């Protein structure tokens, strides 16, 4: 059904797509959420979250290895029946629509607050959808190239944050485990939302050129994500005092206010505009995956029609309704729960089912 | 009338040449009616005592060659022969033709045709000699250290110039004829043991698919075989330099030489091919790397600087530090237009000046410079219509676009600049970023002969970076670019030259 030959992606592209979906908008509020849960100890929750993600990523890859057919959809329709497979695709489509909508709304809200308060939300939406449509139309290969290119052109971003080190108070981080181990464990919950996106492997795995390297690719992509998070969170925690960290909505952007060069003031303005590239790494792949899943549900030959419909609905929908910041926070909250079920629980269930199915099937056959 | 009817009845038989010379000449006069430039010279061949006629088109054939190498040997009595003998002519290029359609083509391409009474075949003699210009320094791509030979309008000479650089029997050619009326000779040159055969076949198929009256220029050919003709970006490199063409062939690309056009087409290429110049390889690698990065920077400023200025002055005035803001305010204070109008006015003026300079003859062209530089540059600022800063921005943009070595890419940049200016005036930085994102999306999907255009940045191929974004020392460039999918990828096994010991 799908042509994976012409659309194959390299391991590097795979890594950057996954990391891109994870980082994009989630990085903005991560330090605040960690601080809310555990103060500066929130930093310690990140490695724990990382381990959790590795485990979950491994399970997802195992599911893909176990699935004998070309794609997971085919495997499911073979083992559980066409309707279950369609239901599964629909679920994934909903999930990725959710992820995409969250990313888009976040980006629009941030642009509206910081750059263009007078511009209508739907105008920004239409602007953002323009390149997104063009890239999502191209399929995994173009997505992969886009993710790669964006990574290359935005690798200078972290270095700008080093300028804040002038005002760093390393002592903020100490002592470790100030309130014991429990707050750290609760802070792990905050790392779930920024790690969402590994599930994209379900769709992208068939396109991967070197499938035997999938595990290491996933480890690398999770490591990239985690090191970015640790870096950013450390910067925020050593800059802001422990109580201040929870005050700012998007500490990553607010922190830029302190950086000043001779030739440019308020560096956050060009920075946020450039950040749109990083933000776009969540909604563009999700847009593709969602429309691909919808095309599977309806048995369409490619994802073009769902994608077009999606773009039009988004543009018109935003004209009537755009969530506010608080509503977007709620969306995020729901997304974290939804995502936990989809990304951490569902793959394990699938793995168990597929293993059992194989065992029974083999026994039945022999 | 009878003749025409006969032709209708049995066209194949009529296409052949008859034995009778008078009949043949009648057919020729019929075919070439109202063509006073067709000359028919009838004479008797001394050698065989046969009646013969020599046909040629005045101006397309070399008079000297016809007089000395054809007419003289045939009319001077040498040894006795009988009718049907091989004729004595001192011409190298003789083809026997027996069909009128072929004779017509040979005649129109400059050959002279010898018809002999009693023979049902004609001799097309390679005495072509049409108006030609001398080989000169290529104007569009001047180089400091490279060769000073540019392509001319004759494909034979152009091919010879390329062959001088690659005297190897693996340099193969495919000759195709394009155009129903023009019958343009289009030659595909490639290295048989390097060039990827699928790309070659794709190129050949594309050229064969063309069905037009005539191709006047390589540019036309390139538009007809492009992957995406709606794109702003050129997808093939057109070069006037034999050394560039040869170097591209050696990299595993193919070159299309079009007769009557002084530029050849190179495919497949990527975005970065337009930022390379042949001088990069003859200068030291450090300066070549610097120049390549400078060109990339120039591309960015040429496309983005006016848009950036508009965005800053009309949306994000707060990012300018106070001191700079004061200077800027002083300059912009009395300007009655919004920044966008100001920028568009100046940019359009610049484009007009540039276009005026291209067409005008050199002595008049100087006036354009004076009018542009002094009258517009200075007077407009003194009159308070345009700010000083805007003039600087526009001048900087112009200089940046002059740095780019390829004209087609500069043309693309000029259009992109206007689009970005409009976007910036509507949405500030967000508009610019959206424009950039759309441009990237477009570049990602664009292809040149089916190969990704964004290579080696998207898809990332680090091994190709050393001869695109930078120019590494030559001994490191031992692989052909992966973007050409060359069959043989190693070009050399040079080591770093050893330091001389005293």
Return the percent helix, strand and coil in chain B, to nearest 5: 50, 15, 35
Which one, of B59, B55, B2, lies nearest residue B29 by Cα?
A: B55
pLDDT, position A366 = 60
Q: From the list A119, A127, A146, which residue is nearest B434 (CB)?
A: A127
Residue A216 is encoded by which pair of tokens? 């290491």
Measured between beta carbons, which residues in chain B are less than 8 angstroms from residue A288? none
pLDDT, position A245 = 79
- CA–CA separation, B204 and A169 (whole Å): 67
Residue A302 pLDDT grade (very low, low, confident, very high; cuts 50, 70, 90): confident
- Cα–Cα distances (Å) from B438 to A288, B197, B340, B442, in that order, read 16, 33, 21, 6
Residues 402..441 of B with a Cβ closer than 8 Å to A: which?
A: 427-434, 437-438, 440-441
Q: Which of B125, B143, B164 is the last residue of a domain?
A: B125
pLDDT, position A255 = 85
- Do B382 and B237 share a domain, yes or no? no
Measured in degrees and rounded to the nearest 5, phi and psi for residue B416 equal: -60, -40
Contact B316 A269 (CB under 8 A): yes
B457 touches A at CB < 8 Å: yes
Contact A138 B324 (CB under 8 A): no
Measured between beta carbons, which residues in chain A are less than 8 angstroms from residue B316? 115, 266, 269-270
Measured in degrees and rounded to the nearest 5, phi and psi for residue B48 equal: -120, 0
Query: Has the ipTM of the complex gone over 0.90?
Result: yes
Measured between beta carbons, which residues in chain A are less than 8 angstroms from residue B454? 145, 149
Domain assignment of residue B347, yes or no: yes
- CA–CA separation, A65 and B229 (whole Å): 43
Domain total in chain B: 3
- Distance, in angstroms, between B497 CA and closest chain A CA? 33
Given a contact cutoff of 8 angstroms between Cβ atoms, the answer to whether B482 and B467 are in contact is: no
Of B84-93, B415-424, B460-469, the one with minimum mean pLDDT is B84-93
> Nearest-CA residue of chain B relative to A119?
B427
What is chain B's mean pLDDT, rounded?
Answer: 87
Contact B433 A273 (CB under 8 A): yes
| Structural domain for B77, as ranges | 2-125
User: DSSP letters along B344-389, please?
Assistant: HHHHHHHHHHHHHHHHS-HHHHHHHHHIIIIIIIIIHHHTTSS-HH
Size of interface A-B (CB pairs under 8 A): 98
B318 touches A at CB < 8 Å: yes
Side-chain-side CA neighbours of residue B136 (13 Å)? 10
Measured in degrees and rounded to the nearest 5, phi and psi for residue A216 equal: -65, -35
- CA–CA separation, B95 and B74 (whole Å): 17
pLDDT, position B501 = 67
Measured between beta carbons, which residues in chain B are less than 8 angstroms from residue A7? none
Contact B460 A124 (CB under 8 A): no
- Distance, in angstroms, between A131 CA and closest chain B CA? 5
- Do B445 and B304 share a domain, yes or no? yes
> Nearest-CA residue of chain B relative to A138?
B445
Measured between beta carbons, which residues in chain B are less than 8 angstroms from residue A276? 430, 433-434, 437
- CA–CA separation, B346 and A251 (whole Å): 42
pLDDT, position B3 = 46
**What number is the average pLDDT over the span A288-315?**
92
- Do B210 and B303 share a domain, yes or no? no
Residue B455 is encoded by which pair of tokens? 């290579």
- Give the CA-trace dihedral at A68, A74, A75, A79, to 10 degrees: -130
Contact A263 B442 (CB under 8 A): no
Angle between the A140-153 and A268-297 helix axes, to the nearest 10 degrees?
170
Strand-pairing partners, residue B125, are: B94, B112
Contact A262 B441 (CB under 8 A): no
- CA–CA separation, B444 and B479 (whole Å): 24
Contact B318 A269 (CB under 8 A): yes
Contact A152 B460 (CB under 8 A): yes
Domain assignment of residue B275, yes or no: no
Residue A164 pLDDT grade (very low, low, confident, very high; cuts 50, 70, 90): confident
- Give the CA-trace dihedral at B222, B224, B228, B229, to 10 degrees: 90
Residue in the block written with tokens 């039945």: A364
> Nearest-CA residue of chain B relative to A153?
B457
Given a contact cutoff of 8 angstroms between Cβ atoms, the answer to whether A194 and A30 are in contact is: yes
Measured between beta carbons, which residues in chain B are less than 8 angstroms from residue A142? 441, 444-445
Measured between beta carbons, which residues in chain A are less than 8 angstroms from residue B433? 273-274, 276-277
Q: From the list A149, A262, A265, which residue is nearest B319 (CB)?
A: A265
Side-chain-side CA neighbours of residue B22 (13 Å)? 0
Q: Is the pLDDT of residue A3 over 70?
A: no
Given a contact cutoff of 8 angstroms between Cβ atoms, the answer to whether B150 and B283 are in contact is: no
Contact B321 A13 (CB under 8 A): no
Measured between beta carbons, which residues in chain A are less than 8 angstroms from residue B428? 115-116, 273
Q: Is the pLDDT of residue A131 over 90?
A: yes
Residues 51..80 of B with a Cβ closer than 8 Å to A: which?
A: none
Residue B266 pLDDT grade (very low, low, confident, very high; cuts 50, 70, 90): very high
Cβ neighbours of A50 (radius 10 Å): 21
pLDDT, position A180 = 77
Query: Each residue of B189-241: pLDDT tens digit?
Result: 999 989 999 999 999 999 999 999 999 899 999 999 999 999 999 999 999 99
DSSP state of B395: H
Q: Measured at the alpha carbon of residue B374, what is the angle toward residues B370 and B378, in degrees to the nearest 5?
A: 165
Which percentage of chain B shows pLDDT scores above 70?
96
- Do B243 and B371 share a domain, yes or no? no
Given a contact cutoff of 8 angstroms between Cβ atoms, the answer to whether B129 and B102 are in contact is: no
B320 touches A at CB < 8 Å: yes
Q: From the list A137, A149, A269, which residue is nearest B457 (CB)?
A: A149
Residue in the block written with tokens 């749109």: A276
From chain A, which residues contact B within 8 Å (Cβ)? 10, 12-13, 111, 115-116, 119, 123-124, 127-128, 130-131, 134-135, 137-138, 142, 144-146, 148-149, 152, 262-267, 269-270, 273-274, 276-277, 280
Q: How do the domains of chain A map onto residue ranges?
A: 11-360
- Among B458, B464, B469, the strongest candidate for a mutation testing the A interface, having the largest count of A CBs within 10 A, is B458
H or E element, residue B95: strand B94-97
Residue B33 pLDDT grade (very low, low, confident, very high; cuts 50, 70, 90): confident
- Do B296 and B424 share a domain, yes or no? yes
Domain assignment of residue B492, yes or no: no
Q: Can the peptide bond before residue A175 be classed as cis, meaning omega within 30 degrees of 0?
A: yes
Alpha-helix runs per DSSP H in B404-466: 407-445, 462-465
**What number is the average pLDDT over the span B449-467?**
86
Cβ neighbours of A279 (radius 10 Å): 26
pLDDT, position A31 = 87
Residue B62 pLDDT grade (very low, low, confident, very high; cuts 50, 70, 90): confident
Q: Is the pLDDT of residue A148 over 80?
A: yes
Measured between beta carbons, which residues in chain A are less than 8 angstroms from residue B457? 149, 152
- Distance, in angstroms, between A141 CA and closest chain B CA? 9
Return the percent helix, strand and coil in chain A, to nearest 5: 80, 0, 20
- CA–CA separation, B370 and B64 (whole Å): 49
- Do B294 and B234 share a domain, yes or no? no
- Distance, in angstroms, between B432 CA and closest chain A CA? 9
Contact A270 B437 (CB under 8 A): no
- Distance, in angstroms, between A36 CA and closest chain B CA? 32
Given a contact cutoff of 8 angstroms between Cβ atoms, the answer to whether B249 and B166 are in contact is: yes
- Do B362 and B290 share a domain, yes or no? yes
| Chain-centroid distance, C-alpha A146 | 15
b/e string for B69-94 if b means 16 or more Cβ within 10 A? bbbebbeeeeeebeeeeebebebeee
Contact B431 A127 (CB under 8 A): yes
Query: Each residue of A175-214: pLDDT tens digit?
Result: 777 777 888 888 888 888 888 888 999 899 988 888 888 8
- Do B317 and B441 share a domain, yes or no? yes
Domain assignment of residue B458, yes or no: no
Contact B321 A262 (CB under 8 A): yes
Contact A119 B444 (CB under 8 A): no
If DSSP states are collapsed to H, E and C, what string results for A220-252? HHHHHHHHHHHHHHHHHHHHCCCCHHHCCCCHH
Contact A266 B319 (CB under 8 A): yes
Contact A115 B316 (CB under 8 A): yes
pLDDT, position A290 = 94
Measured between beta carbons, which residues in chain B are less than 8 angstroms from residue A12? 460
Longest alpha-carbon distance in chain A: 77
- Distance, in angstroms, between A240 CA and closest chain B CA? 24
Contact B433 A265 (CB under 8 A): no
Higher-pLDDT residue of A6, B190: B190
Q: Is the pLDDT of residue B323 over 90?
A: no
Most confident of A18-32, A74-88, A279-293, B16-30: A279-293
Give the sheet arrangement for strand B254-258, strand by strand: B171-178, B184-191, B254-258, B264-267, B237-239
> Nearest-CA residue of chain B relative to A152?
B457
Given a contact cutoff of 8 angstroms between Cβ atoms, the answer to whether B461 and B447 are in contact is: no
For A11-360, CATH number?
Answer: 1.20.1740.10
- CA–CA separation, B214 and A59 (whole Å): 63
What is chain A's mean pLDDT, rounded?
Answer: 88
Higher-pLDDT residue of B132, A105: A105
Residue A324 is encoded by which pair of tokens? 């506010």
> Nearest-CA residue of chain B relative to A277?
B437
pLDDT, position B77 = 73
3-state SS, residue B300:
helix
Higher-pLDDT residue of B5, B165: B165
Alpha-helix runs per DSSP H in A115-181: 121-137, 140-153, 157-161
Contact A134 B460 (CB under 8 A): no
pLDDT, position A2 = 54
């Amino acid at each position: 059904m799908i042509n994976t030959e012409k659309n194959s992606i390299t391991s590097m592209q795979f890594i950057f797509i996954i990391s891109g979906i994870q980082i994009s908008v989630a990085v903005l509020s991560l330090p605040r959420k960690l601080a809310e849960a555990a103060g500066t100890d929130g930093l310690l929750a990140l490695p724990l979250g990382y381990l959790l993600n590795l485990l979950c990523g491994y399970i997802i890859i195992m599911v893909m290895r176990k699935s004998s057919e070309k794609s997971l959809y085919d495997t499911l329709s073979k083992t559980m029946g066409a309707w279950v497979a369609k239901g599964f695709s629909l679920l994934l489509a909903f999930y990725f629509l959710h992820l995409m909508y969250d990313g888009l709304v976040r980006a629009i809200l941030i642009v509206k607050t910081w750059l263009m308060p007078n511009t209508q939300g739907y105008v920004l939406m239409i602007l953002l959808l323009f390149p997104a449509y063009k890239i999502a139309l191209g399929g995994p290969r173009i997505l992969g190239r886009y993710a790669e290119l964006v990574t290359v052109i935005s690798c200078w971003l972290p270095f700008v944050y080093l300028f804040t080190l002038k005002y760093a108070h390393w002592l903020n981080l100490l002592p470790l485990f100030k309130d014991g181990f429990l707050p750290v464990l609760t802070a792990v919950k905050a790392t779930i939302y920024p790690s969402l996106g590994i599930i994209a492997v379900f769709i992208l795995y068939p396109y991967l050129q070197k499938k035997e390297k999938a595990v290491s690719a996933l480890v690398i992509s999770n490591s990239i994500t985690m090191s970015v998070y640790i870096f950013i969170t450390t910067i925020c925690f050593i800059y802001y005092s422990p109580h201040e960290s929870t005050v700012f909505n998007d500490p990553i952007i607010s922190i830029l206010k302190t950086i000043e060069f001779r030739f440019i003031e308020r560096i956050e303005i060009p920075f946020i505009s450039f950040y749109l590239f990083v933000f776009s790494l969540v909604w563009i792949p999700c847009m593709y995956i969602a429309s691909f899943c919808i095309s599977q549900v309806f048995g369409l030959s490619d994802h073009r029609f769902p994608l077009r419909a999606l773009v039009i609905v988004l543009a018109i929908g935003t004209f009537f309704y755009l969530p506010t910041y608080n509503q977007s926070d709620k969306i995020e909250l729901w997304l974290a729960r939804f995502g936990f079920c989809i990304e951490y629980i569902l793959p394990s269930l699938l793995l168990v089912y597929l293993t059992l199915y194989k065992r029974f099937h083999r026994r039945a056959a022999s | 009338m009878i003749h025409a009817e006969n032709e209708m009845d049995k066209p194949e038989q009529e296409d052949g040449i008859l034995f009778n010379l008078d009949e043949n000449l009648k057919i020729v006069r019929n075919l070439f009616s109202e063509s006073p430039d067709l000359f028919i010279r009838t004479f008797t061949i001394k050698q065989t005592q046969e009646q013969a006629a020599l046909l040629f088109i005045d101006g397309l054939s070399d008079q000297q060659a016809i007089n000395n190498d054809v007419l003289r040997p045939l009319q001077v009595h040498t040894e006795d022969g009988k009718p049907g003998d091989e004729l004595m002519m001192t011409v190298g290029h003789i083809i026997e033709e027996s069909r009128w359609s072929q004779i017509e083509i040979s005649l129109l391409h400059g050959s002279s045709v010898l018809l002999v009474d009693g023979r049902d075949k004609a001799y097309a003699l390679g005495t072509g000699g049409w108006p030609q210009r001398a080989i000169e320094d290529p104007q569009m791509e001047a180089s400091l250290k490279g060769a000073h030979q540019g392509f001319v309008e004759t494909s034979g000479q152009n091919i010879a110039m390329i062959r001088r650089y690659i005297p190897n029997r693996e340099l193969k050619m495919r000759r195709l004829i394009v155009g129903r009326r023009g019958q343009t000779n289009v030659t595909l040159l490639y290295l048989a043991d390097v060039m990827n055969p699928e790309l070659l076949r794709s190129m050949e198929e594309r050229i064969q698919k063309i069905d037009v009256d005539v191709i006047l220029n390589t540019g036309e050919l390139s538009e007809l075989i492009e992957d995406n003709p709606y794109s702003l970006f050129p997808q093939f490199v057109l070069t006037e330099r034999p050394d560039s063409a040869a170097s591209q062939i050696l990299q595993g690309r193919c070159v299309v030489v079009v007769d009557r056009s002084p530029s050849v087409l190179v495919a497949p290429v990527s975005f970065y091919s337009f930022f390379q110049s042949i001088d990069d390889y003859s200068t030291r690698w450090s300066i070549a790397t610097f120049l390549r990065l400078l060109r990339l920077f120039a591309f960015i400023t040429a496309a983005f600087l006016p848009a950036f200025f508009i965005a800053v002055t009309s949306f994000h005035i707060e990012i300018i530090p106070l001191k700079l803001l004061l200077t800027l305010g002083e300059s912009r204070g009395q300007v009655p237009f919004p920044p966008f109008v100001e920028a568009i006015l100046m940019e359009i003026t610049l484009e007009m000046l540039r276009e005026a300079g291209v067409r005008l003859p050199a002595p008049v062209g100087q006036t354009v410079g004076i009018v542009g530089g002094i009258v517009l540059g200075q007077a407009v600022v003194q009159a308070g219509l345009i700010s000083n800063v805007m003039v600087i921005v526009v001048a900087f943009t112009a200089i940046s676009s002059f740095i780019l070595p390829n004209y087609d890419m500069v043309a693309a940049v000029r259009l992109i600049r206007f689009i970005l200016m409009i976007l910036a005036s509507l949405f500030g930085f967000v508009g610019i970023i959206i424009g950039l994102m759309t441009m990237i999306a477009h570049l990602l999907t664009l292809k040149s002969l089916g190969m990704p255009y964004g290579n080696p940045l998207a898809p990332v191929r680090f091994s190709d970076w050393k001869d695109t974004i930078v120019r590494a020392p030559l001994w490191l460039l031992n692989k052909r670019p992966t973007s050409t999918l060359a069959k043989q990828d190693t070009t050399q096994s040079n080591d770093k030259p050893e330091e001389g010991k005293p």
